[in-house]
Chain A
Amino acid sequence: MSITREPTSVDLEITVDVPVEHAFKVFTEDFDRIKPREHNMLPVEIAETVLEPRAGGRVYDRGVDGSTCQWARVLVVEPPHRLVISWDITPAFQLEPDPARCSEVEFTFTSVGPEQTHVRLEHRHLDRHGAGWQGWRDRAAGDSAWGIYLERFRALAEA
């Protein structure tokens, strides 16, 4: 499924056996069931993940105690073909407050049949996190962010 070519981006694609309108609707309205739960910056478990499907909308996790963590901004919504969100998370698994140091993720939905949609994901401009990555060493002490981040992905990969 990986079609990555650019070193500073991640490209993935998948074909889904549903019409393009349904694919886009599920992706934007059921994002809660799509985003891996293990990826969590809250100190408590995630109750739900919300994607507000409009330009300027937020993408955030809401914890079981009501606390929230906004980790992305909705940049472009063009139903049923295109969705772009920012990725406001540093490689050390902290929120990135500076938009200039955030990457972005574009999802394109292309109809390839009456009941088949091709979805392409491009997570690009990863180099913008460069400075953040340099700093991971400072935050890597003990069991802090980096190790926990890797732990979570390990659990995910083995799930």
Chain B
Amino acid sequence: MTDVWYAVSDSTRRQVLARVAAGPCSVGEIADAMPVSMAAVSQHLKILREAGLVSMTPAGRRRIYQARLEGLAELRAELETYWTQALHSFKQVAEASYLAAKEPQ
């Protein structure tokens, strides 16, 4: 599965995601609203789909793209990353300052 952070690292791709998030749409509708080709939009959608950010539903001959709004899960993952980073920093800071206080140079 494509990394979600990689998927949103490209500004054009973020614009594609924003357009999809605004409402279900086809590749053509996205390309119409942006200065990029349909082929390029398709490539961006592929990566967004692989990252789980966008889903596709066939509608006749068209493919309709939709943002996956399993928001709570995304939010939890983001907060988990954030707090994990904070706790690791805390451990380093606390242990270093304790050692420094216990064994003054």
Binding site for B on A (CB under 8 A): 1-2, 4, 7-8, 10, 12, 14, 16-19, 22-23, 26-27, 30, 33-36, 39, 91, 105, 115, 119, 121, 123, 126-127, 129-130, 133-134, 136-138, 140-144, 146-147, 149-151, 153-154, 156-159
Residue B17 lies at the interface, judged by CB distance under 8 Å to chain A: yes
User: Are A10 and B80 closer than 8 Å at their CB atoms?
Assistant: yes
Dominant SS at the B interface?
Answer: helix
Minimum C-beta distance from A139 to chain B (A): 9
- B89 lies within 8 A of A156 (CB): no
Does A130 lie within 8 Å of B22, measured CB to CB?
A: no
| Residue picked from B9, B67, B83, B84, most chain A C-beta under 10 Å | B83
Q: Quick check: is B81 within 8 A (CB to CB) of the other chain?
A: yes
A-B contact count, CB below 8 Å?
Answer: 133
Q: Which B residues lie at the A interface, using CB under 8 A?
A: 4-6, 8-9, 11, 14-15, 17-18, 21-22, 67, 69, 71-76, 78-91, 93-95, 97-98, 101
Q: A138-B22, A144-B18 are in contact. List 4 more A-B contacts (CB 8 A).
A: A16-B90, A16-B95, A22-B94, A150-B8
Contact in complex: B83, A123 (CB < 8 Å): yes
The A interface is mostly helix, strand or loop, or mixed, namely mixed
Given contacts A10-B76, A91-B71, contact A33 B8 (CB under 8 A): no
| Chain A residue with the shortest CB-CB distance to B5 | A154
